[in-house]
Amino acid sequence: MSDFTPNEMMTIAASRALRSDDVCFVGIGAPSAACNVARLTHAPDITLIYESGTIGTAPDVLPLSIGDGELCETAVTTVSVPEMFRYWLQGGRVTIGFLGAAQLDKFGNINTTVIGDYAHPKTRLPGGGGAPEIATSSQQVYITMAQSKRGMVEKIDFFTSFGHGDGGDHRKRLGIDTAGPTLLITDLAIWKPDPETREFTVVSLHPGATRETVQETCGWTVKFAERLEETPAPTELELKTLRDLQARTKAAHAGTAKKGKAA
| Residues belonging to the active site | 51
Interatomic CA distance for residues 188 and 208, integer angstroms? 8
- The values of phi and psi at residue 192, to 5°, are -135, 150
Interatomic CA distance for residues 131 and 251, integer angstroms? 29
Residue 17, C-beta contacts closer than 8 angstroms, at least 6 positions apart: 142, 183, 185
Question: Please, are residues 26 and 2 in contact by the beta-carbon 8 Å criterion?
Answer: no
Give me the half-sphere count of Cα atoms (radius 13 Å) on the Cβ side of residue 3: 1
Kind and range of the H or E run holding 225: strand 223-230
Residue type, 144: T
Residue type, 94: V
Using DSSP's 3-state secondary structure scheme, residue 61 falls into coil
Residue type, 114: V
Measured in whole angstroms, the distance separating CA 108 from the mean position of its chain's CA atoms is 12
